[in-house]
Amino acid sequence: MRWLLVKDLQILRRSPLLVGLLIVYPIAIALMIGFALSSPPGKPKVAFFNEVPQDQGKIHIGNQSLNVASYASDLLRSIEPIKVHSEAEAVAKVRDGAALAAVIIPAALPRQIQSLITQGVGRPTVRLYLNTKDPIDQQFVQQAISTRINQVQADVSRRVLQVAVNDLREVLNGGSIQILGQNVHLLGLRNARTIVQGTVASLPARSDLRVALGQVAGFANLAIQGLGFASPVLGSIGSPLTVDETQLAGATTPTDAYAASIAVIVSLMFVTMLLAAGMLALERSENAYARLVRGLVTPGRLLTEKVVLAGGCASAVTLVMAALVSLFVHLDWSRFELWVAALALGGLAFGALGVAIGAAAREVSAASLLAFLVSLPIAFVALVPSNAVSGTLKTVLDVVAFVFPFKAALEAVTNAFTGSSPPIGLPLVHLAVLALVFGALARLALRRFAAR
């Protein structure tokens, strides 16, 4: 087998185009994924028109004031704005495709917000026009704008609540608050209670006012207790929400590392299957197969040599690819030996599938084409999310994904890169079994390999 390996490596060395493709292809994929994962998404082009005059953008909340213009500029940070001068012009930009969306800040917005804050009446509205031609673009711009609007809403709520809490404190302890733009001095419930209690103490023991003022002091006590609780409650509502995250079914895989795993396995699959199928079929195209199996090499050894050649070369190339990807995405180098194990067994399983295809197709061009055609659906089936389909179709897809190496290899490599679930043992055993099964199928297909 050693001399066959040497021979195949010599042939590969003299096929620079093929070898170049096999090396450049995964590296190109690695770099593309790396750049894609490390670059922030671009900002959507959005036509923006602010109808609010510069001097009318202020909203007064107690003794504080907010400026609508500052929130509008916040919104502009998450988009690439196209400044327009009318709502009609903004809509036209969306219609002709120059903008993915248009945002209109109506002139009445500050008044509407002011009314809502002070009287609880009104519904402040920002107008948004979306280009629905491309649903992906639509989702992209919707997310960008709604995220920013939610931040603005949260900020306004927080500041309104701050003012409300401060005013309650003034009512409790005394001080000054703004009502209708005027500073009003408040005595405060605590001070009022002290005064009433002092007055009651100074009254004659049999005075009729003692009972009445005692009721006033009791009410003041109750109010002080109630408002004492209200302040921290309101303050907590005004705080930003915190997320209580619960992890189910083990640790989650970072999205970037998962994407890197997919890129590595796709490359491993293509390189191994094309190489294994093509190099086996080459033995027949060169008319060497019959000569080899005439007592020099057994068919089983020939298959093993092709699987080792293809799996070994592809594993080495994808290992380099993973190292390159790790420049952009965090992969756990302390688990390097598991990287090697996952890629090696994945390579063997894909190699066995490749030689089965090569033995069945027999011609180099047919084998390469068939290997390519088989690869794509295998990857797609394994990547269909489990909740995307239901019933019988899900069962069928699960079975198909189980009988081909892509899913098991992806699980093994993802675990090797990140330590995520499921554990690596089962996928590795799965890959070893698939390698044996496809190897046996390839051996059966070799029975008619030499026939013309």
Task: List contacts with another protein (CB under 8 A).
Answer: 3-4, 6-7, 10-11, 14-15, 286-288, 290-292, 294-297
58: helix, strand or coil: strand
Helix (H) or strand (E) holding 443: helix 425-445
Q: In this structure, what token pair is assigned to residue 430?
A: 């799965």
Largest CA distance in the chain: 129
Whether 413 and 326 have beta carbons less than 8 Å apart is answered as no
CB of 275 vs another protein, minimal distance in Å? 15
Question: Which residues partner with 60 through β-bridges?
Answer: 65
The smaller minimum CB distance to another protein, of residues 134 and 286, is found at 286
b or e along 420-452 (b: 16 or more beta carbons within 10 Å of the residue's beta carbon)? beeebeebbebbeebbeebbebbbebbeebbee
Phi and psi at 185, nearest 5°, equal -85, 135
Other CB atoms within a 10 A radius of the CB of residue 315 amount to 25
Tell me how far apart the alpha carbons of residues 316 and 23 are, in angstroms, rounded to a whole number: 10
Rounded to an integer, what distance in angstroms lies between the CA atom of residue 157 and that of residue 149? 12
